[in-house]
Every structure is written in C-alpha cells, then in structure tokens.
Copies of this chain bind each other. A is one copy, B any other.
C-alpha cells in the first residue's frame, strides 16, 4: 500500500466537443495551472467528456420511440425518446419498475438507464457510454504518456448506483496502464493466517476517491490521484465485470 495519496482536480478543462483531443486538453490545462506531473499519477476522467469527444451523443429528435418506450414514458412521465435510447443501449433489462430501468449495457455494465444521461449536455441531447471504455482509457493514457513523458495511468469513470445502498459512487468503466484488481490471496495476516478470498477492486476505489474532488456540475471532469505508482500495470476495466457464471445476482 502507498504511504500516502494526494487527490486534486485538474482546473480549467474547457467544454469538450466532438473530436476533441482530451489528452491535449488535459496537458494544456496542467500547463496553465503550473501543475507538474509525476510518475504514478492516475488520471480519473469522467465518462461524460469521453463520450462527448467520441461523439457518443444522441440527438433526441432523431429517435423514433418504440411502443414500449412510449408506453413507459407515458406511465412514468419520462421522455419517450430518452427511454428509447436507454432500451437501445441495453442488451438485457435487469429491472424495470416504478419508472426506473436497470439494464445491462452492450459492454456488460449493469446500471441505471444503461448509462444514458442528460446532464451537462445541451437540451435535446443525451450522452451514451463510450463504445469501448478500455480503448478510450488506453488511448488517453498513451496520449498522456507521450506528451508528459511520465508513467501515468487512466481511468474512465462513471457514477453508478448499487443494490441495497443509497447514493451513487464512482466506478471504473475502463482503465489504461493500471492493474485494476489487487489480489491479496496467499498473503498472510499478523497471525500467520492466509487471507483466502480478498481481491480488492483498486480501480473502483481510485475512481471513488477521485470523485470526491470532481464536481457533479462538470466544472472539473478530470482528477488526479497522486502516489499510485504501485498499481501501474496492465489490465482492463472489463476485468471488473463479474462473469455471468459466477454472478449470484443476475
């Protein structure tokens, strides 16, 4: 475990539009702020700006809602076009009740509204999740390493709700240059007992930590966790999805 970690937001990231080079926007913002980057910095980037840069944005007037979407929207006072986008981003509906849709996305994420979100985008548009968050994270990491000449890692994150607990927490959708799981099996405790089953989801914990200094209103969609060098490595955010065969809550 690192001795200490430091969390701070990257100030001055401008509004991100389709085709934007997020690595360059981050480097420019760091330069303006006079922030020097260190080996082991983990950049946690809100999914929202990645989706915007990649054009993972849907204009609602282009959507023709299905009968299911229209009926659901009428019953629960939702926007039928948004409901239709949610359904089309889903490969499986996990729960659909009381106006809430929990579904499994094409990537395998299980979350509310398939990650479709209307916040921080102009009226009449919604964002969907990046097509391949690991590819997005890796491309961003490569871009940052090339420009900053430091070993750094990236996490593309989003806030998800969870069963049984209130409120959302930030989780890792995709990672670049990071070993997302810390396997403690085989370590021994202070009584010499072998730890049997503990695998820590470091990527989700880094994402949650970073969220504490990121604003929900999108002023600061990028934060840095400094001091995380020991988790640099390789791995994928998709490794964080439990396989259906092992999941007791499908």
Contact = CB atoms under 8 A, between A and B. Distances in A.
Interface of A: 1-9, 15, 95, 97-98, 100, 102, 110, 118-123, 159, 162-171, 180-182, 184, 187-191, 193, 195-196, 198-202, 204-206, 208-209, 211-220, 228, 239-242, 247-249
A165 B119 contact: no
A199 B166 contact: yes
Contacts of A182: 167
B188 A95 contact: no
Contact of A217 (B2, B6, B167, B187): B187
A193 B118 contact: yes
Contacts of A166: 181, 199, 201, 239-242
B213 A5 contact: yes
Contact of A123 (B8, B193, B228): B193
Given A120-B191, A164-B247, 4 more contacts: A1-B213, A95-B248, A119-B193, A167-B240
A115 B95 CA distance: 27
A59 B126 CA distance: 56
Nearest to A6: B6
Given A1-B214, A1-B220, A169 B9 contact: no
A9 B122 CA distance: 43
A169 B200 contact: yes
B201 A167 contact: yes
Nearest to A160: B165
Nearest to A243: B166
B9 A163 contact: no
Contacts of A95: 248-249
Contacts of A220: 1
30 contacts: A1-B214, A4-B213, A5-B6, A5-B209, A6-B6, A15-B190, A97-B248, A98-B248, A120-B190, A120-B193, A162-B163, A163-B247, A164-B241, A166-B199, A167-B180, A167-B182, A167-B199, A167-B202, A167-B204, A167-B240, A168-B199, A168-B200, A168-B201, A169-B205, A188-B217, A189-B217, A190-B217, A190-B218, A205-B209, A212-B228
A218 B1 CA distance: 11
B159 A121 contact: no
Contacts of A97: 248
Given A7-B4, A191-B123, A110 B164 contact: yes
